[in-house]
Amino acid sequence: MAVRDVTTYLVDASTWLPKQFIFCRVEDEDGTVGWGEAYTIPQRERGIAEFVKGLGTMLLSLDEATPENYRQNVTSWYDEGHLSIDFSSAASALEVALWDIRGKQAGKPVCELLGTVQRRSIPLYANMDPETPGETMDQLVERCHKLRALGYDAIKIYPMNYEPLDRAVECVSRVRDVIGNDARLMIDVWALQDADEALAAAREFAAFDPFWFEEPVAGERLAEMAAIRREVDIPIVTGERQVGLHHYRSALEQEAADILNPDIVAAGGIQDMLETAKLAASYDVSISPHCWNSTLIATAAMIHTMAVIPNAIIGEYFPQYASFFDQFGELAFDLKQGAAMIGDTPGLGVNMRDDALADYRI
């Protein structure tokens, strides 16, 4: 298995969505095509895309372009011990594409190549990232109500968008009312600067039985996060902004988290997610992959990976992104509100439209 072509695409969705998206197309010497996606960070997309192109050039030089060989001989050499999320995101894109190729060549879904499949129905929660800047609380509550009616029984909100704290509490209360007590309500405060403010918020939100409390402070502030965790009886989630087993090991050793949420295409790809999940399991900690990405490639990679992780609980999904990405491709497995059912389609089960992406090639 050698690669003969790598194409990188930078999709500017900023008119419709709050970010840009990076895809890559990898073609094997036998003509098999695999697709990957990189996590993007606002204002840093072009740099991440250039990382993908640089890694792609090195991938072309490999005689045996397997996911494992790529990881050992390209990414481990290229970062030279200075791992960053920008680099790791780019590395993830090509690694995922190679797994897509391997699955297609083997005639099997990717999950069947990763280990023992624990389940084929993967639960998803709806991320309620604001659809438009300045979204009102009324608009958020209405969106939550509609998604609950469509069958989503797990919803994540950002109540600190409605500061001060009493307004944020009102937001949580109103959303809990419209989704009901039987639905899971995730709360993300997106890394507050003040740890005391985060603790105060957690105590106020506890009355509404949140399923978790995400990123009370920035993920590198592990001592403060651990202190918050000791003070509240809500599961603490962290990990979306960090990469590398060394970071997750530190979080676990300091007892800073109940759930880790690395992003599937930021943390290095499928192999890194599996290793992180195994490490977390050794500390009796769960995994809930972050996926602030498209509703296509990254979502598919997350779903297949979760299928083989025993301590995976739920995956992230952005229902409001789906209509935009329908123009670029479709998932071949059944994606219903609140769950994804993996079928028998070989590879990741993503059908991309090359012609729709042509104008975004870089």
- SS3 for the chain, per residue? CCEEEEEEEEEECCCCCCCEEEEEEEEECCCCEEEEEECCCCCCHHHHHHHHHHHHHHHHCCCCCCHHHHHHHHHHHHCCCCCCHHHHHHHHHHHHHHHHHHHHHHCCECHHHHCCCCCCEEEEEEECCCCCCCCCHHHHHHHHHHHHHHCCCEEEECHHHHCCHHHHHHHHHHHHHHHCCCCEEEEECCCCCCHHHHHHHHHHHHHHCCCEEECCCCCCCHHHHHHHHHHCCCCEEECCCCCCHHHHHHHHHCCCCCEECCECCCCCCHHHHHHHHHHHHHCCCEECCECCCCCCHHHHHHHHHHCCCCCECCEEECHHHHHHHCCCEEECCEEECCEEECCCCCECCEEECHHHHHHHEC
What is the structure's pLDDT at 77? 67
Q: What is the mean pLDDT of residues 315-321?
A: 97
List, in order, residues 6 or more apart from 309 with CB less than 8 Å away: 118, 273, 274, 277, 287
What confidence category does residue 41 fall into, taking pLDDT thresholds of 50, 70 and 90? very high
What is the structure's pLDDT at 131? 82
**pLDDT tops 80 at residue 217:** yes
Residues β-bridged to residue 361: 9
What confidence category does residue 129 fall into, taking pLDDT thresholds of 50, 70 and 90? very high
**pLDDT tops 60 at residue 348:** yes
Conformation bin of residue 71: beta by default, left when phi > 0, alpha when psi is -120 to 50 = alpha
Q: What percent of the chain has pLDDT over 90?
A: 93
What's the pLDDT tens digit per position in 59-113? 999 999 999 999 999 887 665 567 799 999 999 999 999 999 999 999 999 999 9
**pLDDT tops 80 at residue 1:** no
Handedness of CA 64, 52, 278, 252 (dihedral sign): positive
What is the structure's pLDDT at 80? 57
Claim: this prediction has a pTM higher than 0.75: yes
What is the structure's pLDDT at 79? 58
Which has more pLDDT, 334 or 17? 17
Phi, psi of 35 (to 5 degrees): -120, 140
What's the pLDDT tens digit per position in 219-252? 999 999 999 999 999 999 999 999 999 999 999 9
What is the structure's pLDDT at 78? 61
**pLDDT tops 80 at residue 54:** yes
Calculate the average pLDDT of the chain: 96
Q: Strands 33-38, 121-127: parallel, antiparallel or unpaired by DSSP?
A: unpaired
